[in-house]
Amino acid sequence: MAGTSPAMTNFISAPRNGCRVAPWLVPTPPMKDKPKKPQKLKARLPRGLEDRGPVAIAATRAMVEKIREVFERYGFEPVETPAFEYTDALGKFLPDQDRPNEGVFSFQDDDEQWISLRYDLTAPLARYVAENFDTLPKPYRSYRFGYVFRNEKPGPGRFRQFMQFDADTVGSGSPAADAEMCMMAADTMEALGIPRGQYVVKVNNRKVLDGVMESIGIGGDANAGKRLTVLRAIDKLDRLGAEGVAALLGKGRKDESGDFTKGAELGESEIAEVVKFVEAGAGSDLAQRVEAALTAAALVPDQVRSLLTESEKASSKDAALSSEQIGSLFNYLYLFPGYAQPGATERRERWPDDRILHVRFSDDKYELRLDNFLTIEKLRRAGPKNATYQSGIEELEQIATLAESAGYGSGRVLIDPSVVRGLEYYTGPVYEVELLLDTKDEKGRPVRFGSVGGGGRYDGLVSRFRGEPVPATGFSIGVSRLQAALTLLGKLDTRPEFGPVVVTVFDRDRVADYQKMVALLRSAKIRAELYLGNPKNMGNQLKYADRRNSPCVIIQGSDEKARGEVQIKDLIEGAKAAAAIASNQEWRETRPAQFSCKEDEIVAKVREVLARHDVKWG
């Protein structure tokens, strides 16, 4: 087939044997595929989660330690529960929970039991107490902290994993246990550096809310879902205002993204009754009228103080205004309905209590709040007369009395009927810690932090396991949210923590000698490490120490070894000196902040460097 054309090379004739046959087709061998480059896995973080570096971790550690100290001062002891619980032990308390894993992260175990990541620290505690009920002291007072997980739509500042720090008293139905939670919350805020006047612990009672809902015809088990929708609408008052809450109480509301939230479908008269109730507390009615009058008169804080009859009270950061003081203010301003005009000797009305308003002064403004007992009196008179509502009012009055007797007046612990708390298991008093100060984020935009913690009474949660009443109340701090707030406010040290003393490797044949130096420093409780990278370039070793924020490095070449010495380079002092040196040549000649010492003086000399710069770890 030497003369066969290239086009025919794929055809080979079969033996003829006297018959004419078609040629056979011989397939061309396939071309070899080019080897594919291995696909690189894309490094990516799931939505709603965050990585945390050493600065954030150190800040969390400092926060947790301060919270722990306050909680232990109140007599609470630590306990830990696992991150996983049986789903039925967590209960159906999250929004829109139509299937076992709605709102929580769940999986089915090999025994077909549903298991979920905890969504808070309270439900696991209820399981723990029920399981160990007979061996625990009652009341049982405990605290715990750790991460919780929510299977919810993430957004700015809204994470699927975040840290909480809880304290609970199980086995006491006394309002004193609830009052103590509120006082402890106030003390915790101050321990974290938030001064009085810049936070408030708001208190309400689910019984009061339930009583209102009974009065508009949505009591009983048949309306449990509708009541929960109403509660969650009220819970959004701070964010959406009365108009937004009214929409959620009615047909529903569409947010800025276009998502529609179905409402409770109450009638107009029912909506009006609920909105009137939640607006009955602090910041409304009398307080608003007083503040509007002072604003209209363009009075600054010092002028307001000068108008008050009790100068000692008026000079404080959080002063109580009596009815007499309000009278002197508005006799002066001619603006307050119900008070006498100039020249008159008596007012035309009296208030039921001498404690009317609290005025909170700051450098350039003042804010007025209703006194707790006046708020309670207003709620008692204006609200429904059913037993549920009146029982809730009585409990609020007991909490306010106990708190005030211990020095926690309405400037710190405030009765506020708009507080709801979103979880379904609360059965009595509920509380929420709110930061009142405004600040700006890194882009200069105004930020109001709002709630950074809360809790309440949950008398039914442990009872689900026991089949008998077990009263309980607790308080939870949102550590992650509060840390973000404290960072923006400059209350947390966000400077990088000092790294270890780095022992460099000048001669790779003498690694054992350098490791011995590291061991010596560590035995003296000094944080130290041996440089474990390529020791070829000393400059890279010093750059590494800089990136680790090391306070100093230790260098020993053959010359120093022969003299029994080491070189210690103070990196902190060196950075300051280098900023004042004009040229690299001058820096090489002067070698700022670098000195020699004997080998047996390493620990003492390193300690001198650390003390000079107040270097501390942990």
CATH of the domain at 189: 3.30.930.10
Q: Please say if the pLDDT value at position 510 is more than 90.
A: yes
Compute the distance between CA of residue 413 and CA of residue 407 in angstroms, rounded to an integer. 10
Note whether residue 419 is domain-resident: yes
**Residue 377 burial by Cβ neighbours in a 10 Å radius (0-12, 13-18, 19+):** middle
Give yes or no for a contact between 176 and 402, defined as CB atoms under 8 angstroms apart: yes
> Is there a single domain that holds both residue 69 and residue 173?
yes
Task: Compute the distance between CA of residue 603 and CA of residue 503 in angstroms, rounded to an integer.
Answer: 12
**pLDDT tens digits, residue range 169-185?**
999 999 999 999 999 99
Domains identified in the chain, total number: 2
Residue 487 φ then ψ, to 5° = -65, -45
Give 593-606 pLDDT, tens digit per residue: 899 999 999 999 99
Structure tokens at 278: 């939640």
Is there a contact between 320 and 313 (Cβ–Cβ < 8 Å)? Answer: yes
**Dihedral sign from CA coordinates of 589, 590, 593, 599:** positive
Q: What is the CATH number of the domain that holds 548?
A: 3.40.50.800
User: For 302-370, where are the E strands, in sequence order?
Assistant: 318-321, 357-361, 366-370
Please list the residues that pair with 447 across neighbouring strands: 439
Q: Is the pLDDT of residue 121 over 60?
A: yes
Q: What is the C-alpha to C-alpha distance for residues 208 and 194, in angstroms, rounded to an integer?
A: 30
Q: Which of 431, 436, 390 is nearest to 414 (CA)?
A: 431
* pLDDT tens profile 514-548: 999 999 999 999 999 999 999 989 999 999 999 99
Question: Does the residue 426 lie in any domain?
Answer: yes
Q: What is the pLDDT of residue 19?
A: 53
Specify the 3-state DSSP secondary structure of 530.
strand
**161: β partners:** 149
Is 5 contained in some domain? no
Q: Give the torsion through C-alpha atoms of 57, 61, 67, 69, to 10 deg.
A: 180
Same domain (yes/no): 408, 557 = no
Instruction: Please write the tens of the pLDDT for every residue from 158-169.
Output: 789 999 999 999
For 305, residues 6+ apart whose C-beta sits below 8 A from its C-beta are 311, 314, 315, 361
DSSP β-ladder status, 528-530 and 501-503: parallel
Q: Which two tokens stand for residue 88?
A: 């039925």
Q: Are residues 478 and 517 in the same domain?
A: no
Q: List the beta bridge partners of residue 473.
A: 169, 457
Dihedral sign from CA coordinates of 457, 458, 463, 465: negative
Q: What is the mean pLDDT of residues 255-277?
A: 84
Whether the Cβ atoms of residue 281 and residue 417 lie closer than 8 Å to each other: yes
Token pair of 125 as six digits: 């505690």
Query: What pLDDT is stored for residue 163 in this prediction?
Result: 94
- Verify that 127 and 182 share a domain, yes or no: yes
Return the amino acid letter for 241: G
Which range is least confidently modeled, 25-39, 112-126, 468-482, 491-505?
25-39
Burial 187-202 (b: 16+ CB within 10 A, else e): bbbeebebeebbbbbb
**The pLDDT of residue 547:** 94
Q: In the structure encoding, which two tokens stand for residue 252, read together? A: 């529903």
480, 520: one domain: no
At residue 555, φ and ψ (nearest 5 deg) are -125, 135
Q: Omega before 27 cis (within 30°)?
A: no
The string over 269-285, giving b where at least 16 C-beta atoms fall within 10 Å of a residue's C-beta and e elsewhere, is ebbebbbebbbbbbebe
Listed residues 488, 518, 537: the one ending a domain = 488
Q: Which pLDDT tens digit goes with each residue over 338-394?
A: 333 333 333 333 333 334 455 555 555 555 555 787 788 878 887 888 999 999 999
pLDDT digits (tens, 9 = 90+) for 202-251: 999 999 988 988 888 888 888 888 888 888 888 787 778 788 888 889 88
| Cβ contact 435:450 at 8 Å | yes
pLDDT at 373: 79
Q: Which tokens hold the place of 449?
A: 């932090």
CB contact at 8 A, 212 and 269 = no
Q: What percent of the chain has pLDDT over 70?
A: 73
How high is the mean pLDDT of the chain?
Answer: 80
Kindly state whether residues 480 and 537 are assigned to the same domain.
no
Torsion of CA 493, 498, 499, 500, to 10 degrees: -140
Pair (596, 483) in one structural domain: no
Does a structural domain hold residue 370?
no
Instruction: Tell me how far apart the alpha carbons of residues 403 and 372 are, in angstroms, rounded to a whole number.
Output: 11
Decide if pLDDT at 442 tops 80.
no
Q: Best-predicted range by mean pLDDT among 89-103, 269-283, 342-356, 465-479? A: 465-479
Q: Does an H or E element contain 129, and which?
A: helix 122-131
Taking the C-alpha atoms of residue 427 and residue 76, their distance in angstroms, rounded to an integer, is 23
Same-domain status, 477 and 540: no
Phi then psi dihedrals of residue 141, to 5 deg: -115, 120
DSSP, collapsed to helix, strand or coil, labels residue 386 as coil
pLDDT mean over 321-342: 48
- Specify the higher pLDDT residue, 392 or 282: 392
**Residue after which a domain boundary falls, among 453, 488, 523:** 488
Rounded Cα–Cα distance for residues 286 and 270 (Å): 24
Same domain? For 545 and 513 the reply is yes
pLDDT at res. 173: 95
Q: Which two tokens stand for residue 46?
A: 């799931």
Q: Return the residue matching tokens 């001058």.
A: 586
pLDDT of residue 338: 39
pLDDT digits (tens, 9 = 90+) for 80-92: 999 999 988 887 6
H/E element, 450 = strand 446-457
In a 3-state reduction of DSSP, which class is residue 86?
strand
Contact 25, 10 (CB under 8 A): yes
Note the pLDDT of residue 354.
Answer: 39
Q: How confident is the model at residue 473 (pLDDT cuts 50, 70, 90)?
A: very high
Confidence of residue 325 (pLDDT cuts 50, 70, 90): low
Strand pairing class (552-555; 260-262): unpaired
Residues, the chain: 618
8 A C-beta contact, residue 142 and residue 125: yes
Close Cβ partners of 362 (under 8 Å, ≥ 6 residues apart): 197, 301, 317
Q: What is the mean pLDDT of residues 556-580?
A: 89
Do 206 and 65 fall within a single domain?
yes
Of residues 429, 469, 424, the one with CA closest to residue 179: 429
pLDDT at residue 584 tops 70 = no
For 598, the domain range is: 501-612
The pLDDT, as a whole number, for residue 339 is 35
Q: Give the lowest-confidence range in 97-106, 208-217, 451-460, 463-472.
A: 97-106
Which of 430, 456, 488 is a domain's end point? 488
Tell whether 412 is covered by a domain: yes
- CB 489 within 8 Å of CB 192: no
Helix, strand, or coil here: 337? coil
Helix (H, G, I), strand (E, B) or coil at 234: helix
On whether residue 238 sits in a domain, the answer given is no
* pLDDT at residue number 221: 80
Kind of pairing between the strands at 161-170 and 472-478: antiparallel
Residue 21 lies in a domain: no
**Is the pLDDT score of 73 beyond 70?**
yes
DSSP letter string over 462-520?
A: THHHHSS---EEEEEEEHHHHHHHHHHTT-S--SPPP-PEEEP-S-GGGHHHHHHHHHH
Would you say residue 272 lies in a domain?
A: no
* Dist CA 279 CA 238 (whole Å): 11
pLDDT per position as a tens digit, 404-437:
889 898 878 989 888 888 677 889 999 999 988 7
The letter for the amino acid at 426 is Y
User: Are 509 and 482 members of one domain?
Assistant: no
Are residues 88 and 199 both part of a single domain? yes
Tokens of residue 553, six digits = 């490095």
DSSP letter, residue 284: S
Angle separating helix axes 268-278 and 206-215, nearest 10 degrees: 160
Residue 359: the pLDDT is 56
